[in-house]
Structure 1
Amino acid sequence: MTNLAFSNTALSPELIKNLATLGYQEMTPIQAQSLPAIISGKDVIAQGKTGSGKTAAFGLGLLHHLNVKRFRVQAMVLCPTRELADQVAKEIRKLARSIHNIKVLTLCGGTPTGPQIGSLEHGAHIIVGTPGRIEDHLRKGRLNLEELKTLVLDEADRMLEMGFQDALELIFSLCPTQRQNLLFSATFPKQIKPITEHIMKDPLMVKVESKHEHSSISQFFYQVDNDEMRIAGVQKLLMVNQPESAVVFCNTKIETQELAKALKDYGFSCAALNGDLEQRDRDQTLICFANKSVHVLVATDVAARGLDVENLDMVINYQLAHDPEIHVHRIGRTGRAGGKGLACTLMSHKEAHKAIKLEEYLGISIEPEELSELVIENTQINQAKMVTLHIDGGKKQKLRPGDILGALTSNKAIRGEQIGKIQISAIAAFVAVNRDIADLAVKTIANGKLKGKKFRVRKLVL
Structure 2
Amino acid sequence: MAWAEKLKLKKGLVRALTEAGFDGPTDIQQKTLSRIIGGQDVIAIGPHGCGKTTTYITGILNRFTYAADGITRVLVLVPDAESVDAVLEQFDQLNTNKSIRLVGLHAAGSTEVQMDDMAEGADIVVATPDRARAIYLKLGLNLNTVDLLVVDDADLIVKQGLQLPVNELAQSIQKGQHLVFTEVMHDKLERMISPFMRQPATIEVEEMREQAFETIDQLLYHVPNFGTKVNLLRLFMQDEDLFTKTVVFVNTRQTAEKLYKTLQTRNNSSVSLFSSWFYDYTGFDSVEAFLADDNARTLLVVNEDVGELPLQDVPFLLHFELPQDAETYLTRVKKGNEAEETEIMALTFVTDLELNGVRKIEQAIGSKIQVAELPEDLIIEKERRKTPEDAEAGNAKPDENERGAAFHEKKAKNAKTYNYSSGEKAKMTKKKKYG
The two structures have a TM-score, normalised by structure 1, of 0.52
Q: 1:15 touches 1:95 (CA, 8 Å); kept in 2?
A: yes
Q: 1:44 touches 1:182 (CA, 8 Å); kept in 2?
A: yes
Structure number with bigger Rg: 2
Q: 2:209 touches 2:363 (CA, 8 Å); kept in 1?
A: no
RMSD, aligned α-carbons: 4.5
**Number of residue pairs the alignment of both structures matches:** 289
Matches within 5 A, 1:114-133: 114-133=112-131
Cα separation, partners in 2 of 1:46 and 1:316, compared to 1, 3 Å: farther
What amino acid sits opposite 1:168 in the alignment?
V
Matches within 5 A, 1:14-413: 14-66=12-64, 67-96=66-95, 98-175=96-173, 177-210=174-207, 213-218=208-213, 220-221=215-216, 224-227=246-249, 259-260=303-304, 262=306, 299=324, 320-322=349-351, 325-331=355-361, 334=364
Q: 1:217 touches 1:343 (CA, 8 Å); kept in 2?
A: no
Gaps of at least 5 residues in structure 2 are 218-244, 250-272, 277-285, 288-299, 309-321, 333-346, 370-374, 379-417
* In 1, Cα distance between equivalents of 2:181 and 2:350: 21
* In 1, Cα distance between equivalents of 2:419 and 2:52: 27
* In 1, Cα distance between equivalents of 2:98 and 2:79: 29
What amino acid sits opposite 2:115 in the alignment?
I
* In 2, Cα distance between equivalents of 1:74 and 1:358: 51
CA offsets, 1:220-259, max 9 Å, x none? 348952445699xxx99xxxxxxxxxxxxxxxxxx99x64
Gaps of at least 5 residues in structure 1 are 237-254, 265-296, 302-311, 336-340, 345-349, 361-365, 371-462
Q: 1:316 touches 1:343 (CA, 8 Å); kept in 2?
A: no
Q: 1:43 touches 1:203 (CA, 8 Å); kept in 2?
A: yes
Q: 1:7 touches 1:16 (CA, 8 Å); kept in 2?
A: no
CA drift of 1:171 comes to: 0.6
Q: 1:315 touches 1:343 (CA, 8 Å); kept in 2?
A: no
CA offsets, 1:38-96, max 9 Å, x none? 01111111111111101111111111113442211111111122222322222222121
Partner of 1:271: none
Cα separation, partners in 2 of 1:217 and 1:103, compared to 1, 3 Å: farther
Cα separation, partners in 2 of 1:357 and 1:182, compared to 1, 3 Å: farther
CA offsets, 1:82-134, max 9 Å, x none? 222322222222121x2213222221124332332232222221111111111
* In 2, Cα distance between equivalents of 1:316 and 1:77: 37
Higher RCO by CA contacts (8 Å cutoff, separation 6 or greater): 2
Q: 1:314 touches 1:342 (CA, 8 Å); kept in 2?
A: no
The two structures have a TM-score, normalised by structure 2, of 0.55
* In 1, Cα distance between equivalents of 2:247 and 2:182: 34
Partner of 2:224: none
CA offsets, 1:122-175, max 9 Å, x none? 222111111111111111111122221210011222222322122122212322
* In 2, Cα distance between equivalents of 1:215 and 1:139: 49
Cα separation, partners in 2 of 1:209 and 1:55, compared to 1, 3 Å: same
Cα separation, partners in 2 of 1:230 and 1:8, compared to 1, 3 Å: farther
